[in-house]
Structure 1
Amino acid sequence: IERGKNYGWPIATHGINYSGLPIPEAKGKIVEGTVGPQHVWEKSPGLSGMAFYDSDRFKPWQHNVFIGALVGQELIRLQFDGDKVVHEERLLGELNKRIRDVRQGPDGYLYVLTDEDDGALYKVGLKQPL
């Protein structure tokens, strides 16, 4: 994100209203004079909560972004090369739980909170070689 740039909302969008109808102000996905997105989900996974991973505990995750998904019911990991997304991975789908929030703890693990009346808190990490 750069100061003073026009990122288009709501005239340039890939999105739709919650009703399924188009955004009334939208003029298309790409509109002259606006900066387009670098990564798009044509069908929203229902993003909720995001953490930038900067711990030394799990080196393969350094500088990755982790995003909770309410609709997708998973944790999304985005890997970057500079400012470009080069890999996307879906994690924790086997839980069948809406992911409300994700945070990096001071111990380098990720903590994932689910979105139910009896929601759970999960500690997430990579298997380390012994």
Structure 2
Amino acid sequence: MFAAARWLMVLGLMVSIGLHTVVIQSAAWAGMLVSYSMQSGSVVQAVSETFDGEHPCALCKLAQQEAEKESTSGQQAPKADGKIKLHLIAQIMPAIVISAPPPIAFTTAAEARLCVLHHTPDTPPPRRLTA
């Protein structure tokens, strides 16, 4: 059941983006190649007759009609002044500027503080006591 629903969704999406006309045209070309090659006996002649546009078959005409329907139904009606207003999804975004980090400022000798030990370190280091 899930596989059937998935295939139904795929077919619906294919039809919504107009892929069915591509499938119809591809099937028409395949059929034309086979039939023209059998008629003429030459594959080269069949390819030239298939793609020259002067010998359309019934499926080619159907695919052309479907493509014309989609192109006319997908156009927006022009406004009164003859211009179509496009609504774009993306808005103008500020540019992201990536720059180098600021230079490292080393302290001068006058600002450096010396760490002076007032006692000498223990000469062997103290042992840790195990508890």
Give me the TM-score of the superposition, normalised by structure 1: 0.18
Between structures 1 and 2, the one with greater helix share:
2
The structure that has the greater radius of gyration is 2
Q: TM-score, normalised by structure 2?
A: 0.18
Say which structure, 1 or 2, has more relative contact order (CA 8 Å, 6+ apart): 2
Determine which structure has the larger strand proportion and give its number.
1
